[in-house]
Structure 1
Amino acid sequence: MESKETSKRSRLLEAANKLVHRQGFNQTTLADIAQQAEVPLGNVYYYFKTKEEIGHALIEHRANFYGGLIAAWDKLPDPRKRIHALIEEVESQRQALAASGCPIGSLCQELHKDGGVLAEKAATLMAAILSWTERQFHLLGKGSESADLALHLVTVLQGVSLLTHTFGQPELILRETSRLKKWVDSL
């Protein structure tokens, strides 16, 4: 059973995760997070001394979430099926992507504008996805092409996520993920 303290911290972190995805890191205040989590604002400082600490915890939270997805995908017997699982995850999130954009891509882009340690830590999220995808292409026997193939795949997924959000059209995800799956199958 989760302790009362862990529960409050978890609620604050989940509130930050939702708010930052919906409105951005810089637009999300500690007061917003406290209100969403139904925790008094003064209590926020017990768990997170600064907004930057929330940012670090949020990045770790997202890393754990995507790490769990990757661990599940790694159980699939074939690297091609693993790559399809990545593509299908984006496909399954098309409504959220249309509403708020990619939770990793948007965060990385926003934090990179400010630079600093938080931006560098956020970039590790995207680097982990690229690295995992490159490994899958290596396992498919693509050798020295693997890094470029991974970059292409992740770039297309990020690009279609941006356009889906920009135009509010989730069907764009379906069009592009269908093409990507055929492309992966042709390799």
Structure 2
Amino acid sequence: MTNSVNRLVRASQKRQRLTAAAARVLHEQGVERTTLADIARVADVPVGNVYYYFKTKDELVRAALSEHSAHLDEFTGRLERLADPRDRLKALVETWVEQRDVAARHGCPTGTLAAELDKRADGTLDAEAGAVIRRLLDWVEGQFRELGLSRPDDLALSLVSAYQGMSLLANALRDPDIMTREGARLLRWLDSLQAAEEM
């Protein structure tokens, strides 16, 4: 019985390593340039084992999107510990800025994947990538709503659009300072929204 439980645990850990590796490698290299061997190498799993867990590259892309979604839920869950929704939003922006070097090299993990998947004629993976971005939008909208600000959906769209734009420009120009400058502007914007509401 113990051997069978150990095998199940090892299999689960191997699958998780492959999923995390897929999220990382697909972000760094893109879908088309990534091979199953690339993911196996990063996960430290024999390439033949990949097929046991994932039959196609699309299944690995779907797993990577699940990883992005789980990471987002975990991250926003940590932000929820902050009492003030404005502080949560500011912590979100500060985290984006902390990731500026990664963004300058590879762009936003979910945004770049969504853009690449949209170019493919086969499948619905682009909609699944869009669903992860929608989760972020919904969470941000909830924070603006909790602040009592009018048009929380528009404010959420402005904030998430700003993040996608600054990630894209930082990546295209290979300039992490874009994230720093735009992040500072977003923090001032968030403060001004709060100040306007208090007037």
Residue in 2 aligned with 1:86? Answer: 92
Aligned residues: 186
Residue in 1 aligned with 2:128? Answer: 121
Which of 75, 79, 92 matches 2:81?
A: 75
Tell me, yes or no, if structure 1 residue 101 matches structure 2 residue 94. Answer: no
TM-score when normalising by structure 1? 0.94
2:119 partner SS = helix
The two structures, once aligned, show a CA RMSD in angstroms of 1.5
1:3 partner SS = helix
Distance 1:3 1:139 in 2: 41
Residue in 1 aligned with 2:41? Answer: 35
Distance 1:82 1:158 in 2: 18
- Structure 1: gaps of 5 or more residues: none
- Structure 2: gaps of 5 or more residues: 1-5, 194-199
TM-score when normalising by structure 2? 0.88
Distance 1:87 1:170 in 2: 14
Question: Matches of residues 111-150 of structure 1 in structure 2 within 5 Å?
Answer: 111-114=117-120, 116-143=123-150, 145-150=151-156
Tell me, yes or no, if structure 1 residue 8 matches structure 2 residue 17. Answer: no
Of the two, which has the highest radius of gyration? 2
1:114 partner SS = coil
Distance 1:65 1:49 in 2: 24
2:45 partner SS = coil
Distance 1:11 1:37 in 2: 5
1:75 partner SS = coil
Residue in 2 aligned with 1:180? Answer: 186
Question: Runs of at least 4 residues of structure 1 off by over 4 A?
Answer: none
Distance 2:43 2:75 in 1: 25
1:16 partner SS = helix
Tell me, yes or no, if structure 1 residue 65 matches structure 2 residue 65. Answer: no
Shift of 1:51: 1.1
Shift of 1:50: 1.1
User: For 1:128-163, what per-residue CA distance to the aligned partner results, in whole angstroms no more than 9, with x for missing partners?
Assistant: 1111111111111123x1111111111111100111
Equivalent residue letter for 1:46: Y
Equivalent residue letter for 2:49: N
Distance 1:37 1:147 in 2: 39
User: For 1:79-129, what per-residue CA distance to the aligned partner results, in whole angstroms no more than 9, with x for missing partners?
Assistant: 111110110110110111111111011011111222532111111110011
